[in-house]
Structure 1
Amino acid sequence: MLERAFQKYINNFRGFSREIWILTLITFINRAGTMVLPFLSKYLKEDLHFSYSQVGWIMVSFGLGSMLGSWLGGKLSDKIGFYKIMIFSLLTSGIGFFILQKITSYHGLLIAIFIIMVIADMFRPAMFVSLGAYAKPENRTRALTLVRLAINLGFAAGPALGGLLIMSVGYKGLFWVDGATCILAILIFWLKVKEKKKSAYTDKEHPGEVLTYSVFKDAPFWIFLLICLISGIMFFQLFTTIPLYHKEQFNLTEFQTGLLLTFNGILVFFIEMPLVSYIERNKINKLKAINFGGLLMTISIFLLLINNWVGILIIMMLFMTFAEMFAFPFSNSFAMSRARKGHEGRYMAIFTMTYSLAHILSAKTGMEIIDKYGYQANWVFMGTLGIVSVLLGIWVINLVQKEPPRNL
C-alpha cells in the first residue's frame, strides 16, 4: 500500500528533460540561499533601527527594482535570448549581495537594493521562457510546478538556516550565503546546460507585435492580473509584516519564524505536484483552482485576527500553504497560455511585474497601516482585499467560459 502510494508520487515527476532537472537544481540552490528576503524587514528594523516608514520605503525600492528588472528581463530575453540574461542576472546579483552588507545608511540602501533587484529579477521572466524552450508543451504546467517545488523546498531550508545563522553570526552572514549560492547556481547552469539556439519560443521576428495585438485588448487577462496583484499583496505579508508580528505579538525568535516558513515549504514539497497532477488529470477548471486558492488565502489572513493564541500561526500557515498550491502554479500556466509563440519573454514580464508591484504595495501599505492603526487593522484591510479578489475571480471565470476554447 505504502509502496504503491510512493510509486504514484514518483510518477508525477516523470517525463522531464535533463535541462528541466538542471533548472530545478539551480533554482533549489539559489532559493535555499535566499536568506536575506525573509529577514530583510527585521534586519532593517532591529539591526539598523529604521522606522516602520523607512522600512516601508526600502521595501518600495525593492519592489520598484523588481518591476524594472522583470520588464528588462522579459524584453532582453526576446532580443538576445534567455540564456545570457540568466547568467548575467545571477552572477552579478551574487556579487551585489556581498557588497550590500557594507551599506547601512538609509539612502544608500534605497539605491543599492533598487539596483540589486533590477539585476536579480531579470532572472524570473528569462526562467519562464527557458521552461517554455526546454519543456514539452504537455509538460509545461508540471515543469512550472517542479520549479516552484524547488523554490519552496529551498525556502523550507533557507529561512530555518537563516534564523540559526542570524543567532550565531548575525545578519551579515545572510549576505555571504545569498551571494555565494547565486554564483554557485549559475556556474552549474553554465557548465551543464547549453544555449538553445533555435526554438519556437525565441523567435525574434516582429518584437512587441503580440502586446499591441493581444495583451492590451485582453480584458480577462487584465482582470486576472489584478487578482494576481491582490494575492501577491496578501502573500508577501509573510515576508514583510508577519515576521515583525511574530516577534512583537508572540515574541517568537528568528529561528521559530524560520521554522514556520519551513513548515510551508515541506508541505508544498510533498503535496503540490500530486495536487497539480490530480487537477490536470481530472480536467478541473484552472481558473476555479486559482480562485479557490484566493479564498483560502483570504481566510488565512483573517485568522491572524485571533491574536491571543500562538497556535493560530500554524493554522494560518496551513491555510496560506494550500492557498499558494492552488493559486500560483496555475497562475503561471494561465499567463503563459495567453501568450503567442516568440513573445513569451515580454508577456511573462508583464505577469512577473504584477508580483513586483504587489511587493511594493504589500510592504508599504502594510507598514503604514500598522504604524498608524496597528496589526489588527492591517489584517482586516488585507482580508477585505482578498474578498474583492475572489469576486473578481468569479467574473474572470465567466468571461473566459464565453470565449472560444483555449489550451489552459
Structure 2
Amino acid sequence: MTSDVPLHLASALRRRDYLVSRWPWRSLAYLATTLPIAGVLSIGLLVVGAPLMAVVNATRQGRPVELPILVFLTVVALTVLALAPVVSIAVAAIERWRLRLVDPRPLHRQRFTGLVARYRDAGAWREVGHTFLLGGLVPLAYWLLFLIGLLDLTLIASPWLVGDADPVIVVWTTVDTARQAIPYAAVGILGVPALVYLAGLLAAGQAAVARRLLDGAADSTALREVARSRARLVDAYEAERRRIERDVHDGAQPRLTSLTLQLGLARLDVPDDSPAARPLAVAHEQAKGLMITLRQIVQGIRPQHLTELGLAGAVRELAGAATIPVDVHADLGQPLPEVVETTAYFVVSEALGNVARHARAGRAEVRLTRSAGSLVVEIEDDGCGDADPARGSGLTGLADRVAAVDGRLLLSSPPGGPTLVRVELPCPR
C-alpha cells in the first residue's frame, strides 16, 4: 500500500489540497506562537540596538560622541553577547518543541555539557544566531505580512467603509461609493488564498532556517577525518562482502547441490534393508539442511529480492509479510548505491521487527524519500511508544549500522506513542 500524507509543511505547500488541509491552521499556530517570543527578544535587542544606531549615525554625520556613552554601549553589547549562549538555551528548547507544529521530523538535540563548554561549542553559537534571528529579522517579516493582510482586509471591507461624504483610499485610488468599491472587495476575497499560502511560506521558511540552525549535528576536522576513515573501512568491507557472496553463490552452493543430488541417487541404488541405507539417508538430509542454511546465509548478506525488485519493491515485500498493516510510500527516482540500498533494507526490516515485538501497534507506515543528496527512511507506528535504546530494543545496533555508512538515526518515541524512527543516509545524485 502507498501513502501520500505530507511529511511537513514544506511538502504540504506543494499539494493541491493544501488550503483544505490542516496545514494552514498549523502554520498559523506556529506564526502566532512565534509572536510573544520574537516580541520579547526584539524589545531586548532594540534597547541595545537603537542607541547603538544613534551613535553610528552621529559618527557618520561628524557629531562628537561622549566617551561615557561609548563605554556604556560597549559594556551593554558585550553583556548581551555574554548572556546570549545562556538565553538561547531556553529559546532553542521552546523552538524545538514548537517546530513539531509544522515539521514533526525529529531533530538531533544539542547536548548540554556545561556553561563553559557552551561558549566553545559551534552548535551553541548556531542557537545564538537563531535567537538573534527571532529578535531581529522575524519581526520585520511578520510586520510585512501584517501590512499585506491589513491591505487585503481593507479591500474586502471597502464597500462598508465608504460613507456618503467620506471617500476611502484603496491601494492607489480613491472610491466614493460602495458600487465603486465592489471590484476591489472581489480582488480582496480572491487574494485570501494567496495570503494563506504566503503565511504558509513564511512559516515553512522560518521552520527550515530553525531546523538548519538547531540541528545539533557536530562538524569538525577530526570528525571529518574519522568519517573518511570509516568510509574507507565500509568500502573495504563491502568489497569483501561481495567477494564472499560471489564465492558462496558460485562455488560452495553448486558443489553442495551436486553433493546432495549424488547422495539422493545413491539412496535410490541402496536397498532399504542395507546397513548403509540409514547413514546414507541421514547424510542426505544433513546435506539438504546445509543447503537451506547456506541459502539463508547468502540471503542475509544481500537479500535476493532486494537485487531483483529494488529497495521499494523489497520493502513492500517486508510490509506484506508483517503481522500488522504497513503502508509504504516510496519516492526514490534514480537507482540507489548498493550499500545505501542494503542498509536501508535492513533498517526497515529491523524496525518493523521491533514494532511487531515491542510496540503493540495497530498500524505502521514506511516512507522512503530521496532529497538533498540523502535517502531518508522513516518508520512510524501508532503503538505505545517509550522506545529506549538502553533497554536493548535493537535500536543501538541499528544506529551502529547506519553510522557505518556515515548516516544518522533519530528517534521520537514519547510515552503513549507514536514512535518515529528517522534514518538519513548520504546518497549523492
TM-score range, shorter chain: under 0.3
**TM-score normalised over the length of structure 2:** 0.20
**TM-score normalised over the length of structure 1:** 0.21
Q: Hey, which of these two has a bigger chunk of helix by percent?
A: 1
